[in-house]
Structure 1
């Protein structure tokens, strides 16, 4: 992989994006009713230009005219090189180390969850085996029928825990898959944020300079999808957005809530 560095002053090193058609006029371009968007610099040779989400740190990938030609391996190399350049420009930035390797391996290869229950349930007059989601809904219905939060059993709690972990695992999958998140290039969220490091969900809501307003975690996820990853923002009820939120929060379990912190 051969690239040419074009480095600017970085403000926030969160995520990367691609582009080759827009003229570099400013770090952000804003249109009515939309969040600010990056305008990446034009390559004189028409090559793909890659930009960090600060909108200023860029790399030109020589000889590559179509972003779809970038493999995951090449995208990871681009991400690593750009993040190294950004950190050299910002030596005092508060940048956390990735999670321990054993934690990454555990999430990449989650154990097969045990069946929530072996008892069949009725669906539309037919009998079907129940999975974690079905069991969770049944447990919730049982609790609601009792009209008290104290009406659930240890089994109910186990079912709910497995349902939650199932969502977290799905968030892990989407976070590590550029196509699953809706990106138009080979770059996925984990390339700049290994296993959700430096996402700091415990600091939201907070004012985000990229958006120019107070943002929730999901707002920033969507901003990164739309700008660095060059995809379309997800609807609030999109299962992928919910799963990624769950995954990112799960990665910071036990960290003290400190909203508004930068």
Structure 2
């Protein structure tokens, strides 16, 4: 390969690395950076939205609140969150832009799950999920959690996904936080949209 070809390949690799870094960084979960407590005799509790927080006087950092106090703090967090939502969106729960972004991300995840479900790449013997479950049929995600006879215990949908990957497909199980597991679950559940939940049903 000549010098120009080598240079072009290096540039392409750099661009790909930057793109992947941006993509991966965008997928990092929100880390709630709560404000520092005003003194050593109070603590700050943050809501799971990553932005709302409450200062709790009389409870030092690391201390456990009494049940009554914890309920009071949780109620105040939700009150502040709901008030903030009203001010930000003019009374609407979410903006149209937010909804479009979230819908696009959900579609991307479902589409990725569809590809994985119809691909043998998760196993080692050429079998793919759809060969036993065309269009995710007979997966019944709405019935989980339930006692699963193969596992001899209460199982979630992801437990059975891994069971199928390890057994019929002879592949390594996926970690619970693996993006591929999330995509598979999203695709399977999307095929049962509108079906009532029926945990434990056989």
Using the size of structure 2 for normalisation, the TM-score is: 0.56
Cα offsets for 1:32-76 (capped at 9, x unmatched): xxxxxxxxxxxxxxxxxxxxxxxxxxxxxxxxxxxxxxxxxxxxx
Structure 1 outlier segments of 4+, above 6 Å: none
Alignment partner of 1:252: what SS? coil
Name the structure 2 match of 1:237: 177
Q: Structure 1 residue 214 and structure 2 residue 154: aligned?
A: yes
Structure 2 counterpart SS, 1:214: strand
Query: 2: CA distance between counterparts of 1:238 and 1:159?
Result: 22
Distance 2:149 2:177 in 1: 25
Q: Which runs of 5+ in 2 are unaligned?
A: 1-21, 31-48, 53-80
User: 1:166 maps to what in 2?
Assistant: 108
Q: Which runs of 5+ in 1 are unaligned?
A: 1-129
| 1:134 Cα offset (Å) | 5.2
Q: How does 1:178-257 map to 2 (within 5 A)?
A: 178-179=120-121, 181=122, 183-257=123-197
More helix by share: 2
User: How far apart are the structure 2 equivalents of 1:220 and 1:192?
Assistant: 13
Aligned residues: 125
The 1-side partners of 2:171 and 2:101 are apart by 35
**Higher relative CO (CA 8 A, sep ≥ 6), structure 1 or 2?**
1
**Secondary structure of the corresponding residue to residue 154 of structure 2:** strand
Deviations 1:105-150 (A, max 9, x none): xxxxxxxxxxxxxxxxxxxxxxxxx98x959x99xxxx86583455
Report the secondary structure of 1:241's partner residue. helix
2:117 aligned residue: 175
Q: Could you tell me how far apart the structure 2 residues matched to 1:185 and 1:232 are?
A: 12
Counterpart CA distance in 2 for 1:157 and 1:242 is 20
Pick the structure with greater CA Rg. Answer: 2
